[in-house]
Amino acid sequence: MTSARLAVTDKVLLDFAAEVGETEAVAVVGNKTRWDLGGESESGTRLVSAPTGIVDYVPDEMTVTVRCGTTVQELHAALAEKGQRTGLPERGGTVGGALAVGENSLHVLGRGRVREAALQVRYVSDDAKVVTGGGPTVKNVTGFDLPRLMVGALGTLGLLAEVILRTNPIPACTRWVRSTNIDPFAVNTMVLRPSCVLWDGTNTWIELEDHPGAVDAEQARLAEAASVEEVEGPPSLPEYRWSLPPSSLRAPAPFNAGPWVAAVGVGTVWASEPQPTSAPDPGVAALSHRVKEQFDKGGRLNPGRKPGVR
Amino acid sequence: MAGFLNSVKRKLNLASSANDGRGDPVVAELRAALSPDRVRYDGAERALLGRDASVFDGGVSGPVCFPVTTAEVQAIMRIALKHERNIVPRGAGTGLAGGAIPLGAPIVVVVTKMDKVIEVDYDNRIAWVEPGVVNLDLTRLLHRTGFHFAPDPSSQQVCTIGGNVANNSGGPHCLAYGVTNAHVQAIEVVLPSGEVVMLGGLEAEPAGLDLRGAFVGSEGTLGIATKIAVTITPDPPAVKTLLLSFNTVRDAANTVSQIIAAGMVPAALEVMDQRITVAVENYVNAGYPRDAGAVLLAEVDGLPESIAVDGDRIAEIGHANNAIEVRVAANEEERAALWKGRKTAFGAVAQIAPDYYLHDTVVPRSQLADVLEKIYEIADRHDLLVMNVFHAGDGNLHPLLVFDARDDGVIDRVHAAGAEIVRVSLEAGGVLSGEHGIGVEKQQYMDEFFTSEDLVHQNRLRQAFDPGCRTNPGKVIPTGHSCADIQALKRVPAGVWA
């Protein structure tokens, strides 16, 4: 038998696996932009950092291989030189952190969900092996979809080391407009694919991205329905992130105790108070527990963190 | 229908009265839980469901169940668990990798009677559907509402959305819109334990592990989907469809690579070689040139201002790559004809030979031309006819080996050529499957792609959902990495082979 195509020979990844080792509690740390999400890391946990650097960027394939300790900002700066970007949010964190947390970019309508960004993942397992899931091409159904499982798992099933991400072209024109008298829930009937629609109860901000002529046409269509003005960008966002079905934004009572901004058509709300916790469905919780037992029986990967706990 | 079934029975030498399952306690319990007419055990039915649309035979079905509710699926799972019987979920049976073939005489759970669109929720831009809803039926239902269901596999007139979820199905328009996973927000699943869970949700970021994402594409090995929330996609206000003709497949493939490199993601980029375009023309008269070495069907959609720019750029790139003609569909009728040709391509080959084996691999777009040349060479060497019609925009090849199974030794040559096609795709940096899945077809190649450790981890996911490996056993993961599967397949109950 020939050796497997996805066999890992990169010494940098193998060294990272050796550093993770096979014993003791261990957590991977990025830039700590979401360090408390899912609960505090258990004290005494040994911290390691994922390797850094862009390994292979192929603009013509719209894919990039990047080590997970690389910051999203650094990655996007390199991609921008070729007119591309990814769906990962830029908030000062690392690629691995963005994937482990799984929170979408503000521009999710235009750039896609984080859970769809990873084509291939390489992570270090509980027993210090470098495991690959997915594959290098933009379309792939070879085997079970481990990349989807790793996104949002907070590093509790494996420590992300390197990923291949899908890249997307940066549109020729990006423009933000604001209106105080438009129906935010009607925007997506006037505009084909807004990259972002934000609403704070009074103002509506809309991000239009396309060819310049198309953006002009979209803006003109909005102006037929309401007064709109060009603005620099989105508003500042309150601290706490809520996750709701898009339809529930029509009645903002649950989150409007203070200033808030809602992503219309998405269901994310940035509010002044944290979202109340809700108990997970017992069946799903039990299934999630069995997944954790399978991937990390000893509970040594990122102990203390629980995906889904705010 | 009865006449057809009887002819099948005669051909297979099966008598429906020989064994109706009355002596089998499992069948009795299933009939009590569903209804007698929706649990079948006659030989013809079981023989029909022993196969799917793949070339693989050798499947043997146990009792065949047609549930209509989640509670009935749950009851089937519990009966299977109690009697340690295996389960194989099945939609329309259009899979091409043998994923629905029953191995070890399992209970076959056919979801085609669970075919209701439960609700269309325009506020959340989703539709709740049962797994047996036919893919195209959802889009037809949404006609004139301004929405459609984006995944559009070639079998969309018959394949079910439950099957699309199992295979993470693609289709020509998945280039811009994404494959099924991107269009599934929540799935109600009956686990092998009989528990019912809701995976995913309509929230912006559903809490917890993305078990929804892990379930999509698991080929029926993790449970049975009974209710699915799929995204409905707004219809684009304008569409431009171009037909570019070339002297060579290489020119067409290079055009595709350069369109992507230019920063465009068209709605679809489909290439057909001359052999298939001639077959299609003979079949449906789609308007393809018979003398071109290859054609590229390119479609851009969006705002009129946007598609005008992209359409012109695609034409320019085509001319730069020696296009002999660039034609824009003048109206919806012409556009529909061009797409009808593409979507009926596989049916068109019947005029050339009675059998075909459709492969499915993905290679980097830049490798398309080189890999295609190797595929033609492989087919020639094995004295086979190969036609190529494929989703070029995402590098998804579909070499079609056309043959007559009655010819001596041809099946061996088809399999030998197929193995070489898979291997040249892997050598070019590709993957085993872009949209058909692994099923039983490509298990043998899994450890040429993944390491042993990678497969162990895939099996860990499987075992979390299905510790006994009783749901669709013997699929996806090679048995050497999935010992429980082997055990499950050995538990063939006495009498079921009758």
Q: Which residue segments constitute the domains of chain B, with CATH numbers given?
A: 2-110 (3.30.43.10), 117-234 (3.30.465.10), 236-350 (3.30.70.2190), 353-450 (3.30.70.2740)
pLDDT mean across residues, chain A: 95
Instruction: Specify the DSSP class assigned to residue A171.
Output: P
Residue B172 amino acid letter: P
Residue A261 scores a pLDDT above 70: yes
Alpha-carbon gap: B259 to the closest alpha carbon of chain A (Å): 9
Query: In this complex, is the C-beta atom of A64 within 8 Å of any C-beta atom belonging to chain B?
Result: no
Q: How confident is the model at residue B3 (pLDDT cuts 50, 70, 90)?
A: very low
Residue written as token pair 């291989």: A65
Non-local (6+) Cβ contacts of B354 within 8 A are B404, B405
Helix-then-strand count for chain B, H and E: 18, 20
Q: What is the pLDDT of residue A309?
A: 81
> How does A191-209 read in b/e, with b if 16+ C-beta sit within 10 Å?
bbbbbbbbbbeebbbbbbb
Average pLDDT over residues B90-100: 95
CB B358 within 8 A of CB B348: no
Non-local (6+) Cβ contacts of B148 within 8 A are B139, B142, B232, B233, B235
Contact state of B477 with A193 under an 8 Å Cβ cutoff: no
* CATH architecture of residue range(s) A11-169: 2-Layer Sandwich (3.30)
Q: How confident is the model at residue B481 (pLDDT cuts 50, 70, 90)?
A: low
Q: What is the pLDDT of residue B135?
A: 98
Alpha-carbon gap: A308 to the closest alpha carbon of chain B (Å): 4
Q: What is the pLDDT of residues B112-171, one digit of tens each?
A: 999 999 999 999 999 999 999 999 999 999 999 999 999 999 899 999 999 999 999 999
pTM recorded for the entire structure: 0.94
Which residues of B are less than 8 Å from A288 in CB distance?
A: 208-209, 211
Q: What is the pLDDT of residues A113-129, one digit of tens each?
A: 999 999 999 999 999 99
Residue A186 amino acid letter: A
A 236-255 residues with CB below 8 A of B? 243-247, 250
Q: What is the pLDDT of residues B289-335, one digit of tens each?
A: 999 999 999 999 999 999 999 999 999 999 999 999 999 999 999 99
Contact state of B203 with A153 under an 8 Å Cβ cutoff: no
Percent of chain A's residues with pLDDT above 70: 99
Return the number of other C-beta atoms located less than 10 Å from residue A81's C-beta: 9
Helix (H, G, I), strand (E, B) or coil at B188: strand
ipTM of the complex: 0.97
Percent of chain B's residues with pLDDT above 70: 92
* CATH architecture of residue range(s) A173-271: 2-Layer Sandwich (3.30)
Q: How confident is the model at residue B447 (pLDDT cuts 50, 70, 90)?
A: very high
So where are chain A's domains? 11-169, 173-271
Percent of chain B's residues with pLDDT above 90: 83
Contact state of B234 with A308 under an 8 Å Cβ cutoff: no
Alpha-carbon gap: B68 to the closest alpha carbon of chain A (Å): 23
Average pLDDT over residues B269-283: 94
Residue A2 scores a pLDDT above 70: no
Q: How confident is the model at residue B483 (pLDDT cuts 50, 70, 90)?
A: very low
Which residues of B are less than 8 Å from A293 in CB distance?
A: 464
Contact state of A146 with B461 under an 8 Å Cβ cutoff: yes
Q: Given B170, B201, B237, which is nearest A192 (Cβ)?
A: B237
Q: What is the pLDDT of residues B357-368, one digit of tens each?
A: 999 999 999 999
Residue B496 scores a pLDDT above 50: no
Which residues of A are less than 8 Å from B364 in CB distance?
A: 58, 61, 136-137
Q: What is the pLDDT of residue B485?
A: 55
Q: What is the pLDDT of residues A14-64, one digit of tens each?
A: 999 999 999 999 999 999 998 889 988 899 999 999 999 999 999 999 999
A 193-222 residues with CB below 8 A of B? 193, 210-211, 213-214, 216-218
CA distance A225 to A221: 7
Q: How confident is the model at residue B15 (pLDDT cuts 50, 70, 90)?
A: very low
Q: What is the pLDDT of residue B16?
A: 42
Q: What is the pLDDT of residue B44?
A: 87
Alpha-carbon gap: B4 to the closest alpha carbon of chain A (Å): 36
Q: How confident is the model at residue B17 (pLDDT cuts 50, 70, 90)?
A: very low
